[in-house]
Amino acid sequence: MNTHINSDFAPDALVIGAGIAGLQSALDLADQGLQVLLVERQASIGGHMIALSKVYPTLDCASCITTPKMSAVAHHPNITILTNTEVEGIETREEAHHVRLLQKPTYVNFDKCIGCRLCEYACDTEYPDPFEEGLGSVRAIAVPFTNAIPQKAVLNAEVCGTCGTCARVCPTGAIEYDQQPRKLTIRTDAVILASGFNLNALTIKPQFNAQRSRNIISPLMLERLLAPHGPYGRVLRPSDGKMPSSIAFVQCAGSRDESIGVSYCSRVCCMYAIKQAMLLSGALPLADITIYYMDIRAFGKGYEQFFQNAKAMGINFVRGKVARIDPVDGGDLSLRVETTEDAENPLQVRHHDLVVLAQGMIPGWQPAAITPVACASDGFIATPSLVAPTITTAPGIFVAGTAAGPKDIVDTIAEAGAAAMQASQYLHQKHSAILVA
Amino acid sequence: MTRIVNTSLMRKIKKHGAGRNLDVSACFNCGNCTAVCPLAADSGGFPRRVIRMAQVGMEQELLASEELWRCYACGECTQTCPRQADPAAFMAAARSYAIAGYDFTGLAALANRSALGNLAVFAVFSAVFSALLLSRMNPGHPNFPLFDFLPGEWIHQIGVALFVVVGLSMFSGIASMTWRIWRQSRSQGATLHFAALPGAVFSALSDALFHRRFQQCEAESDAEVLAAQPWYQRPWLVHASVMGGFLAMLLATTLDFLLKPIGSTVPPWYPMRILGTAGGIVCLYGLSIVLLRRAQGKEHPYKKSSFADWFFPVLLTVTVLTGILSELIVYLPSPTTFGHVVFFAHVVLAMDLVALLPLTKFAHVLYRTLALALFAWRHAPAAAAASVGVEA
């Protein structure tokens, strides 16, 4: 793994984003003998997937799939990784893409850091751990998470008090408080955008009052609660550490809702809610679990069977969109919903002690203003061709995964492979054209 | 029970909607509107069920649902609707459709469906009343007292005839609505107890008079929206002032009719005169807020306005204004031609207002109160039985 590059480094392809899509695209290109630069905004590669507990519909462990891929990328001779690096823009001229990068300071010299974590153990400043979705805490200088790649400490300058402890305990003198951001421009022939997704805010629907209760949580928080190496090691609700006994999943809480400007379906929420419900019924065998849904969209291979299994396991499925959530005594939540399949008594107020809002998937990055690619009306990168869904409006720039629209892991990996194939085909045509000329 | 499906029901209701973009077909029946509604709690569930009736063409069921009238158009459903299908505007359109549905003459349908139809009905009524009045007008001297210019006796005779016709029309509308709801509830196996009827009527009347549900509707809707409105501009208060002012004027006119000798002149401090004038001013206050809000078109329930939404308050405003002007003119030493014209206009417009009562948006005074009473009645026996059960 090479992390030292200068502007004269010219890879065949540059992959933006090192989530599961970027990892797969980079591997598929590098395995064909092409030189790849993989750029990641976060301190570790792995994206959202490395933080998940298990994947549907197989209930395989998510990190058991992602970690080997991360490792393979890290050890691949044809792949260079730049973490903590943002893409500031792409200019296309002289038949090549010039990608402007901003490498942010980590205040740790990666050449010297050996990942021993002595600095992390010595540091006495803590802040809510972003990897644990704020549920646990992490030191101001730390390796991002257990299986992070690179295994290097990163200092969070926003919370660090520069007390100097880490510099004193570091056995290799890797701490550099005076590190500066570094700008560099990379010339490359092909770019794959795998910039992924974000979730819209828990508070996006004022009627859900998410700001008034810590027991209204995001699905990614629940992933961490369910993960074997999660923040508490078991499922406890955030406000008081109580073991929840009645859990509600509120579907379409941030998508399929024009009143908040997200009219499309996020495509993964039905399935991950079912998966989380199954995992919860394992973790909390006595808990009542209810999924409030508008439609169950179980469209993938094996998904419908998964849904039917969940019903057979005793998970309650209630058709109706929850309209209002109000905190009540004891940290519980009261949900107002029209149970649309109940002819007798449709309007119901139900109490739960933990509520998971299925937030909407929104683009993780806004490339339209700073790159030649266009975005569609939903904000995701436009893919005009139905028969080549990884081709963007800009020649030589391809897209993979949720950067092009909401999709699940299976579809993302398939698309990442397709994007790599399109990119390598593009490179071959370009190179042979140069040879002919 | 046989159900008759009217496949063009949705298309018809849309014609009654405000603007061309009533997109209620977009509704995917998630139930958000019902669950977010501050008023849906104690009934079968609206607006979604009513929207569903329209979507699948259940015209009879739609016309037999009191739910239409239990909505006070706070707009909470429209603000949060995931499909932006505008349930509040749909409910308003469906109420307009129901007003047309309860009227057997077809005039209500004509008046509610389009601006042109509305104006046509208005023009025909105005022409009829004008012709009737003109037939006995004393064209002579411009300084004639008003009731010499238009004979008071004749106005009264037309008025009595008008009240008889409108009364019959209202009765047929009430009968139509009651029959539909009765049939519907019988098919659902409900039993009605006549002992519970007075209580139900009383609760509906007090609801309507004191705007209880209207206030409840606002109390639970979006706090931000409410905070932006001063108390004297809250929709329920605005509506209460229009209604209260109108009732005061109606009472004053009725008492005048019964007690005051026709054509006699009374001093300005005559109690009925004071009542009428005060009512007119309160009514004008409410109407001016309504018209201002509709013109701004910024917030619910004034965001979208159909022609009928404009027509009724404008008609009422002009009627009250001409009434107050006529009142002033009475005390002038010699009424001018202008005075005669204003008085003539006031008499014609007041007659229009009465004639249009069962046909336009005005009919909600009838149907909303009736629906509230029927709803209370239908749900009373169960409550009574329950309380007896507890005591036993």
Rounded to the nearest angstrom, the minimum Cα separation between B77 and chain A is 9
Is residue B391, in this structure, part of any structural domain at all?
A: no
At residue A47, does pLDDT exceed 80?
Answer: yes
At residue A394, does pLDDT exceed 90?
Answer: yes
Answer whether A320 sits within 8 Å of B80, measured CB to CB: no
Is residue B117, in this structure, part of any structural domain at all?
A: yes
Rounded to the nearest angstrom, the minimum Cα separation between B20 and chain A is 19
**pLDDT, tens only, A207-235:** 999 999 999 999 999 999 999 889 998 99
Q: What is the pLDDT of residue A345?
A: 82
At residue B334, does pLDDT exceed 90?
Answer: no
Q: Are residues B241 and B97 in the same domain?
A: no
Give the pairing type, strands A85-93 and A79-82. unpaired
Nearest to B9 by CA among B46, B61, B48: B61
Which of B77, B102, B127 is at the close of a domain? B102
Is residue B3, in this structure, part of any structural domain at all?
A: no
What's the mean pLDDT in A57-77? 96
Q: What is the pLDDT of residue B222?
A: 57
Q: Are residues B14 and B112 in the same domain?
A: no
Q: How far apart are CA A294 and CA B28, in angstroms?
A: 9
The answer to whether the CB of A44 falls within 8 A of the CB of A83 is: yes
Q: Which positions 220-249 of B are in contact with A (Cβ < 8 Å)?
A: 222, 224
Nearest to A407 by CA among A391, A390, A422: A390
Q: Are residues B303 and B227 in the same domain?
A: yes
Is residue B2, in this structure, part of any structural domain at all?
A: no
Nearest to A230 by CA among A44, A55, A46, A50: A50
Residue of A nearest to B39 (CA): A347
Banded pLDDT at B45 (limits 50, 70, 90): confident
Q: How far apart are CA B90 and CA B73, in angstroms?
A: 10
Q: Are residues B89 and B115 in the same domain?
A: no
Q: Count the helices and strands in chain B (H runs, E runs).
A: 19, 0
Please tell me the number of Cα atoms within 13 Å of A131 on its side-chain side. Answer: 24
What's the mean pLDDT in B85-89? 90
At residue A437, does pLDDT exceed 70?
Answer: no
Q: How far apart are CA B259 and CA B266, in angstroms?
A: 12
Residue of A nearest to B86 (CA): A259
Residues of B in contact with A337 (CB under 8 A): 31, 35
Domain count, chain B: 2
Q: Are residues B92 and B112 in the same domain?
A: no
* Amino acid letter, B223: A
Residues of B in contact with A347 (CB under 8 A): 34-35, 40-41, 45
Question: Apex CA B296: angle with CA B295 and CA B300, to 5°?
Answer: 105
Banded pLDDT at B16 (limits 50, 70, 90): confident
Q: What is the pLDDT of residue A25?
A: 98
Is residue B392, in this structure, part of any structural domain at all?
A: no
Percent of chain A exceeding pLDDT 70 equals 98
The answer to whether the CB of A353 falls within 8 A of the CB of A242 is: yes
**pLDDT, tens only, B269-322:** 888 889 999 999 999 999 999 999 999 988 777 888 888 889 999 999 999 999
Question: Taking each helix axis from N to C terminus, what angle separates A269-283 and A303-312, rounded to the nearest 10 degrees?
Answer: 40
Residues of A in contact with B33 (CB under 8 A): 323
Answer whether A347 sits within 8 Å of B34, measured CB to CB: yes
At residue B333, does pLDDT exceed 80?
Answer: no
Q: Are residues B73 and B139 in the same domain?
A: no
Banded pLDDT at A95 (limits 50, 70, 90): confident
Percent of chain B exceeding pLDDT 70 equals 89
Q: How far apart are CA B356 and CA B365, in angstroms?
A: 12
The answer to whether the CB of A358 falls within 8 A of the CB of A338 is: no
Interface test with B, best of A347, A349, A350 (most B CBs within 10 A): A347
Residues of B in contact with A206 (CB under 8 A): 222, 224
At residue A238, does pLDDT exceed 70?
Answer: yes
Q: Are residues B306 and B274 in the same domain?
A: yes
Rounded to the nearest angstrom, the minimum Cα separation between B310 and chain A is 27
User: How many residues are there in chain A?
Assistant: 437
Banded pLDDT at B356 (limits 50, 70, 90): very high
Answer whether A321 sits within 8 Å of B82, measured CB to CB: yes
Q: What is the pTM of this model?
A: 0.90
Q: Are residues B156 and B18 in the same domain?
A: no
Q: How far apart are CA B323 and CA B246, in angstroms?
A: 12
Q: What is the pLDDT of residue B298?
A: 82
Q: Which positions 206-225 of B are in contact with A (Cβ < 8 Å)?
A: 222, 224
Banded pLDDT at B391 (limits 50, 70, 90): very low
**pLDDT, tens only, B201-260:** 998 999 888 888 888 776 665 555 556 678 888 888 999 999 999 999 999 988 888 888
Cα end-to-end distance, chain A, whole Å: 35
What's the mean pLDDT in A371-398? 95
At residue B385, does pLDDT exceed 50?
Answer: no
Is residue B58, in this structure, part of any structural domain at all?
A: yes
Long-range contacts at A127-131 (CB < 8 A, ≥ 24 apart): A127/A156, A127/A159, A129/A231, A131/A51, A131/A224
Answer whether B45 sits within 8 Å of A338, measured CB to CB: yes
Q: Are residues B135 and B38 in the same domain?
A: no
Residue-range definition of the domain harbouring residue B270: 107-386
**pLDDT, tens only, B160-198:** 999 999 999 999 999 999 999 988 888 877 777 788 889
Q: Tokens 């910039």 label which residue?
A: A195
Residues of B in contact with A324 (CB under 8 A): 35-36
Cβ partners under 8 Å of residue A157, min gap 6: A105, A107
Please tell me the number of Cα atoms within 13 Å of B182 on its side-chain side. Answer: 9
Given its phi and psi angles, is residue A355 left (phi above 0), alpha (psi -120 to 50 degrees) or beta?
Answer: beta
Residues of A in contact with B36 (CB under 8 A): 207, 323-324, 336
Sheet-wide strand order for A333-338: A322-327, A333-338, A347-352
Which of B73, B102, B131 is at the close of a domain? B102
Banded pLDDT at B330 (limits 50, 70, 90): confident
> If you average pLDDT over every residue of chain B, what do you get?
85
DSSP designation for B107: H
Nearest to B12 by CA among B64, B88, B47, B63: B63
Q: Are residues B13 and B130 in the same domain?
A: no
Answer whether B81 sits within 8 Å of A339, measured CB to CB: no
Residue of A nearest to B81 (CA): A259
At residue B2, does pLDDT exceed 80?
Answer: no
The answer to whether the CB of B13 falls within 8 A of the CB of B97 is: yes
Which of B84, B102, B120 is at the close of a domain? B102
The answer to whether the CB of A185 falls within 8 A of the CB of A99 is: yes
Q: CA of B299: how far to CAs of A388, A407, B237, B296, in Å? A: 46, 37, 16, 8
Candidate from A257, A258, A320 with C-beta closest to B35: A320
Please tell me the number of Cα atoms within 13 Å of A262 on its side-chain side. Answer: 24
What's the token pair of residue A343? 């002819």
> Higher-confidence residue: A309 or B70?
A309
Interface test with B, best of A321, A325, A339, A348 (most B CBs within 10 A): A321
Q: How far apart are CA A105 and CA A175, in angstroms?
A: 11
Q: What is the pLDDT of residue B46?
A: 86
Question: Apex CA B42: angle with CA B36 and CA B46, to 5°?
Answer: 50
Q: What are the residues of chain A with a beta carbon less than 8 Å away from any beta carbon of chain B?
A: 205-207, 252, 256-259, 294, 319-324, 336-340, 346-347
Q: Which positions 23-52 of B are in contact with A (Cβ < 8 Å)?
A: 28-36, 40-41, 44-45, 48-49
User: How many residues are there in chain B?
Assistant: 392
Residues B158-177 as b/e (b if ≥16 CB within 10 A, e otherwise) read: bbeebeeebeebbeebbebb
At residue B41, does pLDDT exceed 80?
Answer: no
Q: Are residues B234 and B282 in the same domain?
A: yes
Rounded to the nearest angstrom, the minimum Cα separation between B226 and chain A is 15
Q: How far apart are CA A86 and CA A18, in angstroms?
A: 12
Rounded to the nearest angstrom, the minimum Cα separation between B32 and chain A is 5
Give the pairing type, strands A36-39 and A13-16. parallel
Candidate from B31, B41, B80 with C-beta closest to A207: B80
Is residue B323, in this structure, part of any structural domain at all?
A: yes
Nearest to A188 by CA among A75, A103, A93, A102: A93
Long-range contacts at B333-341 (CB < 8 A, ≥ 24 apart): B334/B142, B334/B143, B335/B142, B335/B143, B335/B144, B335/B145, B335/B146, B335/B149, B336/B142, B336/B143, B337/B142, B339/B146, B340/B142, B340/B144, B340/B146, B340/B149
Answer whether A321 sits within 8 Å of B31, measured CB to CB: yes
Residue of B nearest to A340 (CA): B31
Q: Are residues B229 and B345 in the same domain?
A: yes
**pLDDT, tens only, B47-75:** 999 999 999 999 999 999 988 998 988 88
Is residue B40, in this structure, part of any structural domain at all?
A: yes
Residues of B in contact with A258 (CB under 8 A): 81-84
Residue of A nearest to B40 (CA): A347
